[in-house]
Amino acid sequence: MKNKTQIILIIFSVMSMNANVFSQTNEWKTEKNKDGKVTVKSNISRRTDEKGDVVQLIAYSATTRERVNISNCISVLKDVSNHKYFLDEKESKMVKTISDNKWVIYYYFDSPWPMPDADCVVHMIFTEDVAKRTATFTLTAAPTLFEKKEIERMTYYNVTYVFKEVGDDEVEMTTTAKVTPVVQAPDWMVRSFFPEGPADILQRILKLAKNK
C-alpha cells in the first residue's frame, strides 16, 4: 500500500459485505492530522440508493491554511491531469469541455491486487466570488456521460474544493466529500482513512500549487 490514500481505493473495492452487518454510527468525529495542520471532520452513515438498497455513506471535510497564491491553487484544479496526483489515482482525464467553467472528467482508481479497480465520471463546475475572495470547484457524479468499462463505477460522488484568500498570499483550503463506495467495507476499515487521507489530499494540492 503506497500511502493512506490507497486505503480509500481498497474501501471502494474490497469484497462486498451485506450492509446490515456494519456497525452504525451517526456521530461526526473531529481530528487533527499527524502534523496538526489539517482539521478533519468525518462521519460514516447509511443512505438509501436509487434501487432502494441501504448503502454506506462516507462524509468528511478537511481544512487547512497556508501561504500560497490562490491563482496557483485554481490552476492546479483546472488541470485535470493533476487530479491523479493529489487523489493518488491511475488516471484523471478530461472527457468534455462544456464551457469555460464546466467540464466532464473521468477518474480511474487502480487498486492493489487482489482488489478490483473502479472508476468515476463527474461534472466539475468552477465558480468564483470576488467579494468573498473565494474559488470553488464542485464535482458531482455523472456516470452515464462516458462509456462504461468492465469495472465497477461509482454513481454517488459529491466533492468540493474551496479556496479562500484570508491574507496576503494566505489561503484557507477546504475539501468536503459525500461518497458511496462501489462495494461496502466494514466501518472500522473506512475509519482508518481518517484523518490522514483527506489531509494528504490537501497537502498534495498545496505542493503542486507551490511548485507552479
Report the distance separating Cα 37 and Cα 32, nearest Å.
7
Q: Indicate the CATH number of 4-13+31-210 among 3.40.50.620, 3.30.530.20, 3.40.630.40, 1.20.120.160.
A: 3.30.530.20
pLDDT along the chain (212 residues), means of 10: 49 38 67 98 96 95 97 98 96 97 96 76 97 97 95 96 93 97 86 96 98 88
- Domains of the chain: which residue ranges? 4-13+31-210
Report DSSP state, residue 212. -
pTM of the model: 0.88
CB atoms within 10 A of CB 34: 11
Helical H runs in the chain?
4-11, 70-78, 83-86, 187-191, 196-210
Residue at 100: amino acid letter? D
Q: According to the model, what pLDDT value does residue 168 have?
A: 84
The amino acid that residue 43 corresponds to is N
Task: Output the CA–CA distances (angstroms, integers) from residue 127 to 78, 107, 124, in the order listed.
Answer: 12, 21, 10
- Enumerate residues 6+ apart whose C-beta is below 8 A from 23: 186, 187, 188
